[in-house]
Structure 1
Amino acid sequence: MSLKIEAEIKIDSEPCVAAWDKKLFIGTEDGSIKSFDQDLNLVSSWPAHAVQIFAVAAGNGSVYSASNDGGVRVWSADGQKIVELTTAGPDVGVLRVFGKAVYVGDEGGNVLVFEDNAEKARYNVLEEVKDLEFSPPYMFTVRDLNVTITEIKPEESKSRFVTRHTMEGRAPLQMAGKRLLCTARGGNNLRLHDASVDSSFKLLHDVKVSDMILTSLVVNGDYAWTGGWDGCVRRWKIAEDRLEAAGEVNLGACVNALQSTDANRAYAVLAGGRIVYLKVL
């Protein structure tokens, strides 16, 4: 099985981060956000920040962006500013939408939870948050060495949490149903875990997915897509307790971000301004 380039475009500014919510939203080095339809036709573009965007997320018709110029900015899908969310102060590197809630992770170890653009809860996991996932009641946060699993209940407490487990891992990481995928410390391998406290989050499989550092990981259904410094995008089938190769393509440039719209389609954001739409043959 192989991956085919369905469409490709090039933009003037380096694309850094990406999000999907019926459109593809790209945050760039010059601080702008650009949105595209599924065929990579430009829909809209707007100046969101004065400098490079560190994180972008989209969901429920809104777009969220963060840089080092303070706060998290909330936009409509066509670029109208709605509000700016007040954060804890350190630079925000992670924005994730889970249902109606937006989770904000920063380099000071803070995780803030917003709902309806109002702060609902705030936790501190004691180290920089480079990526996070949430599978109620567990929040998974990671930097470079360990994944920390924290039990949180935002509906009951705005600050109280219990650390349930720590294990080897680094960013990026993603939930896949009852499984957790995270990068091994060396940066080349992907680790598949049972996402259950009953099994102590047992390691099920460890497989090499990149010849160089892995930068990007996205899960859609039973498939994971990976990309990294080696310029290769690879697709993996999550077959219960192991990962099976299910297609790859060498795009010839560092993969800065990945997004997937279904199990057979993905978008790769590449160094040098390229954005590539991939399909399974």
Structure 2
Amino acid sequence: MNDKIIDILEVLWLAKNEAKVYVSLLRLGSWIVWTVSRETAIPRATVYQLLDKLIERWLVMKIDRENILTYFPEDPEKIHQNLIREEEKIERKKIIFSSLLPELSKIKNTKKILPKITYFEWVSGYVELLEDSLDTDNKEILMITNTNYRKENVGDEVKLEELIRYERNDFLHSRLKKKIRLKLLTNEHWISPWLLKKDDEELRETRIIQSWFWDIETMVISWNHVILVTDNHPVVWVHIQEEQLATMMKNMFNFVWQNSKP
């Protein structure tokens, strides 16, 4: 049996065993349940249930020949027709929901909304979060980077270098394109002269974290979004979306900023 065809049908519309039974019938032409069960290695009782579902989907016909049920596959074009019908149904539902959304928004209790918290494993998770921080109307991003902390807790120098390269290349270019400024606190004394030299060009203002604050984790604040790193293995990035928390973290950032030096 063609596994690739089965996989595609499963993605498009059918459950995996439904796809197996349908493809088997297409190849056989028309057969009784026992034959289909043998061909697909699926128990007969299950095959009956699958065939009933395929009949409901207009993909199989059932004929009683002298008290023997025989099943015939419908033309594969039926799948295409069914997908079109499903798409039309979805469009109708979207239109109906669009008209309902304003009314739902009116009755939503905004005073009791809990913070939206999402967890991501890195590096891909961190990259996704930074990309999201550029999608807001915010014109300034606050960031603390602590290389000492990262090296002690990441445990993977390759991934650490990948993360740093992203920050200093792709993220930088995207941020400049959108003209979003960055206030950066870092403990990277060895690279700070280079950063300071390019601050104006890269829409950035850089300051050095004082030694008493070196234990802080990496943190990014953008509008009402806060991104924090945990010290788990593998490292997990926590994304918190909540205005009051973001304001509190901005105040903390500004306190450290005022007590740091260029």
Answer 1 or 2: which has greater helix percent: 2
TM-score interval (norm. to shorter)? under 0.3
**Which of the two has higher C-alpha Rg?**
2
Answer 1 or 2: which has greater strand percent: 1
